[in-house]
Amino acid sequence: MSGGDNLLKLVEAEGPDDQDYLLQEQVGFILRKAHQRHVSIFAGRIGDLTPPQFAALAKLRDVGETSQNQLGTMIAMDAATVKGVIDRLKARGLVELSRHEVDKRRLLVNLTPDGRAAIERLIPLAREITQETLAPLSAKEVATFMRLLAKLA
């Protein structure tokens, strides 16, 4: 029996255990890196707005006036997070707030003319951001990846 065999036995004795946990191969770690790369690409093309801020404007463009909480649900942000995002958009005059006349708890959010102009102007850039993010994949791979990613989200 050779030394190599002994080493193999030792490794096998450990079983599929702690020894072979590689951080770089875990979904969570790679998912975090992929997300970082996307945010970086976004910042390179749209410097004056963050992805969450863009998401809020884009969704308001789709659905029109909604409550802050509903908007948060639609763009996957909890109440505390969406408040900060909307506050900053309001400070820049891109959205306007008003109280719901019937349900006084609700804070209605809507695009201002400036906000609408901004989102229309940015959407072509957002398309480029999507393209650049997916650039390492072929068209076929993009389709596959998006299908599987959607299952995980």
Which spans of this chain sit near DNA (rule: CB under 7 A)?
A: 32, 36, 39-40, 43, 50-53, 67-70, 76-81, 83-85, 88, 102-108
CB closer to DNA out of 9 and 32: 32
Q: For residue 25, what is the enclosing H or E element?
A: none
Q: In what order do the strands lie in the sheet containing 66-67?
A: 66-67, 107-111, 95-99
CB closer to DNA out of 6 and 98: 98
Residue 109 C-beta: closest distance to DNA, Å: 8
**Chain residues 92-111 in contact with a copy of itself, contact rule CB under 8 A:** none
Rounded Cα–Cα distance for residues 133 and 45 (Å): 12
Residue labelled with tokens 């990613």: 149
Residues 6+ apart with CB under 8 A from 65: 108, 109, 110
Residues 6+ apart with CB under 8 A from 66: 60, 74, 108, 109
Q: Which stretch binds a copy of itself (CB under 8 A): 1-9, 36-44, 82-90, 95-103?
A: 36-44
Contact between 25 and a copy of itself by CB under 8 A: the answer reads: yes
User: Which of 3, 4, 13, 23 touches a copy of itself by CB under 8 A?
Assistant: 23
Check: CB of residue 23 under 8 Å from CB of residue 29.
yes
Instruction: Give the residues lining the site for a copy of itself (CB under 8 A).
Output: 18, 21-23, 25-39, 42, 51, 55, 58-59, 62, 75-76, 120, 123-124, 126-127, 129-130, 133-134, 136-137, 141, 144-146, 148-153
